[in-house]
Structure 1
Amino acid sequence: MIALRTLISPNRPWIHLIYLGMFFFGWLYLPPTRLEVITGLASMAGFIALYVFAMRRMDWTLYPAAAFTTLLGLLLIPHTLGGGVYFVFAAAMLGRLDWTPRLWTAMALLALTSITAVWIYAPTPLFALAMAGLAAMAAGGSMIAARHERQADQAEETRSRAAREAAEAERQRIARDLHDLLGQTLSTVTLKAEIAERLMSQDGERARTELQAIQTISRQALADMREAVIGLRGRKLGDAMRESVQRLADAGVAAELEGEEDTDDRLSDSASTALAMVTREAVTNIIRHANASRAKLGFFRQDDAVRLMIRDNGRGGADPNGGGLSGLRARLEGLGGALEVGPVNRDEGTLLTARLPDQAESEGQSQ
């Protein structure tokens, strides 16, 4: 059905082939011989093939195609006035091209040739003027149709590009979420597995506890992965900070919370989730790379912004453009926030600061 609508659209050139019926009007005026019928139908079949070929390419081939069509009209019009319809088609074919000096020249030559031929063989001057006017209308209509067709193609390309960009954005979102959600979880599983292995021969009960913790963490990781894929996240910052303190403690890093406790009261789900992701990524980096013994996680409100600050006393030198942090920076910037990492000097530890607009402050001002 869609293909049929496209085929008969006035912006497409194929519907205009119905005007070939005008060719047979000349036979009504002057009945043809058998040879003229065969010649006329054969030339029409050849023209249709040429017309379809040139209109599908829509390039320089329209020039020789229009010249051949004009020649066909010149050969047929002495035998039938219907041959003048080929001048109309030649004008329509040229009208599909962009208007350039070369096209203006081709149009002028076509007009001079067709008007002269029709004037010579037309029974009345009115018929010649009518044919010239029809050719001019065909050229103008073809030009307008070509412009509409190009606009429709550009709109379709815009829609396709938007769909591709949306798909790519969703792919990147899933990739970021899987990294943010699973990176620290898998690190914890690895750490606890190593602890359980060391305790297996020394303290079986403690080793069993660590193995049970691994099972719990693995189930949570599976749930996190499913949520990341379907986009139904909603992790709370407060929960992430408390869990991170326990994870740091399990890894031998003394950690404490500071700042305000009502972390989620004035945060939207998207903001709370984004800051929770930052917390988990920062803690994962501390456990993996910082070689730290102490860490602090704090949530503060200052002026019209909320700030999440995570610092450690490790080796420092964190890469602010690393894969995980760059993804989190993009997430925060999408919410009107920012992510800063420093100092970057070695042996000075690392301070990570995530900032977002204070939504409660904004709502109070709007009221």
Structure 2
Amino acid sequence: MAGRERRWNPWRAVMEVRDDATYTVGIGAEPDNRRQMIVKLTWIAIWFAYMAAPVDDVLSDHHTRTGDVLGGLGLLAFVAGYLTLVLRHTVRALDRGLVLLCLGGLTTLATLLSLTLGGAWLVLFVYVCVASGAVLPAKLSRIAIPLVTGVLAAIGATQPGVSDYLFALIVPALLGGFAMTGVRQMALTTKALREARATVAHLAANEERLRLARDLHDLLGHSLSLVTLKSELAGRMLPDRPEEAAQQVADIERVSRQALVDVREAVSGFRRPTLEAELAGARTALAAAGIAVDLTGTTDAHPDLPPDEEGALAWALREAVTNVVRHSGAHRCEVSLAEDGDEMCLTVTDNGRGPGGSPGNGLTGLTERLALADGRLETGAAPRGGFRLRACVPLSRPVAEAEVQAQQQS
């Protein structure tokens, strides 16, 4: 069995082939290396097979030596102009005036060579139509392609022996020109999609950076505030109360270790705090800061609160407690959690200095976090002085209960 697995299977090899960016060139994309340039030139050169008629006319003895030389130079100039338009303009747009000048030059060359050297050169008008469809906007190409085809038909009608195959030139001119118009639109669409994808990736990276900044601010702001408070307590307890100071130092170690775990989880994107854990942390942080805390309004369980909404309220509680400890100068803080209609609202009220100036980074990030959970944030002065933060998120109720409540309200 092992030897059979190692045996080369041509069908499997074919089926497992994947696109290699070094070989392929996306529609509307600029070649990145020499290999991609060769691939693009090869695809364009395939269509030069239709140049066999004018090349044979130059190499044969149908004209004088001077006519053959001038015809060969004119053909080279035509090919150079055509490649400039089709190869360069489809990658990096040329100036509109330069595009019209090149198309006018190609049309002039095709006209002069067809009138002076014969009907074999009428095929050049097909390339003019293709170039017009490739480089002109749709509105202009719908005019230019029939116009060039009309010149082809008019000159072909004056050339002897051309009427037999004139229709075989008019149809490719029209079809090729309008087909390239579609290819141009597809290239523009592909380019727009590629730019949109790059923009989306950039926005996603910015959103991830904002998420990390918001999480790290919430995590470290709370933990470092608690570490600072307990460090100050330990310093005041030394040397008179070494046992209590040692307990504070142990708490500092525990908070620091937990902060490290939280930061790792936040960076990994797996951090989702719970109200139960944050309420316990709030009690510890406020007690360490010497602030009396009332948590009697948070004892009820709330099974209808979805995990994302609960996480948003937990972050709100952490940010509110951090602000109370660091900025409020309060002596008392009250935390309540209650239903308000179809919302669950967390309210944190203190008796400190009250609202200050513009909201800081923490409240701004908290507003964004609640908005992701379809919630809202309200801040302002408390009814009896101080500051009040109120965060609300929608509840998710069972369908049967929601129908009963709707019937009762009706």
Report TM bin, short chain: 0.7 to 0.9
The 1:362–1:175 alpha-carbon spacing in structure 2 relative to 1, beyond 3 Å, is farther
Cα distance in 1 for partners of 2:105, 2:75 equals 16
State the identity as a percent: 29
| C-alpha contact 1:180 1:324 (8 A) present in aligned 2 | yes
Q: Structure 1's 7 and 223: CA in aligned 2 closer, same or farther, altered over 3 A? A: closer
Give the one of 10, 13, 25 matched to 1:6. Answer: 25
Which AA in structure 2 matches 1:23? M
For the residues of structure 1 that align with 2:125 and 2:287, how far apart are their CA atoms?
A: 88
Q: What is the 5 A alignment of 1:1-367?
A: 1-2=20-21, 4-6=23-25, 15-26=43-54, 32-33=60-61, 35=68, 39=73, 42-43=76-77, 46-47=80-81, 49-51=83-85, 52-59=87-94, 60=96, 61-77=98-114, 78-79=116-117, 81-95=119-133, 96-100=135-139, 106-107=144-145, 110-121=148-159, 123-263=161-301, 265-318=303-356, 321-343=359-381, 348-360=385-397, 364-365=401-402
TM-score by length of 2: 0.79
Q: Alpha-carbon deviation of 1:55?
A: 3.7
Deviation string 1:115-168 (CA, Å, 9 cap, x unpaired) is 333333362324233323322222211111111111222222222222222221
Name the CA distance, whole Å, in 2 between partners of 1:192 and 1:2.
Answer: 58
Partners of 1:334 and 1:328 in 2: CA distance: 10
Give the distance between the partners of 1:21 and 1:40, measured in 2 at CA.
18
| SS of residue paired to 2:397 | helix
Residue 278 to residue 164, structure 1, CA distance change in 2 (3 Å): same
Equivalent position SS for 1:255: strand
Residues 196, 357 of structure 1: CA spacing in aligned structure 2 closer, same or farther, 3 A cutoff? same
SS at match of 1:58: coil
Report SS of the residue matched to 1:359. coil
* Equivalent pair of 1:320/1:341 in contact (CA under 8 Å): no
- The C-alpha deviation readout for 1:51-89, integer Å capped at 9, x for no partner, is 323443334132122122223323433436443332222
- Change in Cα spacing, 1:159 to 1:232, as seen in structure 2 (3 Å) is same
| Structure 2 counterpart SS, 1:306 | strand
Gaps of at least 5 residues in structure 2 are: 1-19, 29-38, 405-410
Counterpart Cα distance in 2 of 1:82 and 1:277: 79
- Tell me, in whole angstroms, the C-alpha distance in 2 between the residues paired with 1:236 and 1:82: 82
Which moved further from structure 2: 51-60 or 335-344?
A: 51-60
CA distance in 2, matches of 1:359, 1:320: 33
Task: Please give the alpha-carbon distance, in whole angstroms, between the structure 2 residues aligned to 1:318 and 1:165.
Answer: 32
Q: Distance in 1 between matches of 2:210 and 2:82?
A: 49
Change in Cα spacing, 1:136 to 1:351, as seen in structure 2 (3 Å) is same
Q: Is the 8 A contact 2:335 2:348 kept in 1?
A: yes
Tell me the distance in 1 between the aligned counterparts of 2:208 and 2:403. Answer: 32
Offset of residue 258 of structure 1: 2.4
Contact 2:378/2:389 (CA < 8 Å) preserved in 1?
yes
Q: Contact conserved, 1:337 with 1:357, CA < 8 A, in 2?
A: yes
**Higher mean C-alpha displacement, 39-48 vs 261-270:** 39-48
The answer as to whether partners of 1:320 and 1:326 remain within 8 angstroms in 2 is: no
| SS of structure 2 residue aligned to 1:56 | coil
Where in structure 1 are there 5+ consecutive unaligned residues? none
Question: What SS is found at the alignment partner of 1:57?
Answer: coil
The question of whether the paired residues in 2 share the 8 Å contact of 1:196 and 1:206 is answered with: yes
TM (norm. structure 1) is 0.87
Kindly provide the amino acid, as one letter, of the partner of residue 218 in structure 2.
D
